[in-house]
Amino acid sequence: MSFSDWQPIRCAVCGGVSEHMTLASTDSPGPPDLDTRPAETMRSSLQFWILECPNCRYAAPSIATAAAGAAELVRKNEYQAIKCRFQRHSWLLAQLGHYADAGWVSLHAAWMADDAEDAERARECRGRAVELWKTGKRHGHDFMETTEQEFALVADVLRRRGEFEEALQTCMAGLNEQNLTPLIEDVLRFQLTLISRRDTAAHTMGELPKRPQGGERVTLE
């Protein structure tokens, strides 16, 4: 992981200039978690994914730009009352109708909470991610490339929340998908094992049971 120097950035909402460390590059050679969280070194770069203006608290991947309507939303009490900058950006995206992305940023907020060992906040952020993705689907917004990937992701997010019954139903729905790829089938079957153990911990794609020799596995890469 490498950083660029501290950069002065002019906030697109309030015009204030503040200094921010931004990420120049990362690599992530290891297998990701089942919820797509990357391995090191990108894993540790999470805190730099969302910047925050210290003057008006506008939070975004780049505070130098703001969508139309964002400035007005940032000034609202509801926005200012949200403590985590990831959740503030997620709230902005949801208000602007970008439900799929809002769900992803809420999942990233859960990872931040995991790192801070704040289980309650992590659980809340995961719940919000699923709600946002569901709202997105009602509006015709996909949050992953395929429906089977969406089932696999949501199953993991629900399991990490300890919602085992819902996670189980999500896995079964995923396994009923037509044209299920071997990789996602393996992920869903591994989830079933974790659910049966009442396991809420993070697990990586590297833990998937090996297929028998000659078995085929298509990777996501």
Would you say 75 or 217 has its CB closer to Zn ion? 75
Q: Is 53 in the site for Zn ion (CB under 5 A)?
A: yes
> Considering only 55-63, 106-114, 165-173, 212-220, which stretch makes contact with Zn ion by CB under 5 A?
55-63
Q: Which of 33, 34, 52, 58 binds Zn ion (CB under 5 A)?
A: 58
Would you say 14 or 100 has its CB closer to Zn ion? 14
- With CB under 5 A as the rule, give the number of residues binding Zn ion: 8
Would you say 58 or 79 has its CB closer to Zn ion? 58
Burial class of 110 by CB neighbour count within 10 A (0 to 12, 13 to 18, 19+): buried
Q: Which of 14, 100, 122, 187 binds Zn ion (CB under 5 A)?
A: 14
Q: How far is the CB of 46 from Zn ion (least distance, A)?
A: 22
* Phi, psi angle pair for 26, to nearest 5°: -140, 160
Query: In whole angstroms, what is the distance from residue 74 CA to residue 26 CA?
Result: 30
* Beta carbons within 8 Å of 136's beta carbon, 6+ residues apart: 99, 100, 102, 103, 142, 143
Q: How far is the CB of 54 from Zn ion (least distance, A)?
A: 8
Q: How far is the CB of 15 from Zn ion (least distance, A)?
A: 7
Q: CB–CB of 61/16 below 8 Å?
A: no
Task: Say how many residues make up the chain.
Answer: 221
Q: Which of 34, 42, 50, 56 binds Zn ion (CB under 5 A)?
A: 56
Q: Is 94 in the site for Zn ion (CB under 5 A)?
A: no
Q: How far is the CB of 93 from Zn ion (least distance, A)?
A: 17
Give the residue from 135, 144, 147 showing the smallest Cα distance to 173. Answer: 147
DSSP-derived secondary structure for 77-145: HHHHT---HHHHHHHHHHHTT-HHHHHHHHHHHHHHHHHTT-HHHHHHHHHHHHHHHHHHHHTT--SSS
Q: Which of 55, 62, 176, 193 binds Zn ion (CB under 5 A)?
A: 55
Q: Is 171 in the site for Zn ion (CB under 5 A)?
A: no
Would you say 56 or 60 has its CB closer to Zn ion? 56
Locate 201 and state its tokens.
Answer: 């911990």
Give the residue from 61, 60, 142, 63 showing the smallest Cα distance to 99. Answer: 142
Residues that bind Zn ion (CB under 5 A): 11, 13-14, 16, 53, 55-56, 58
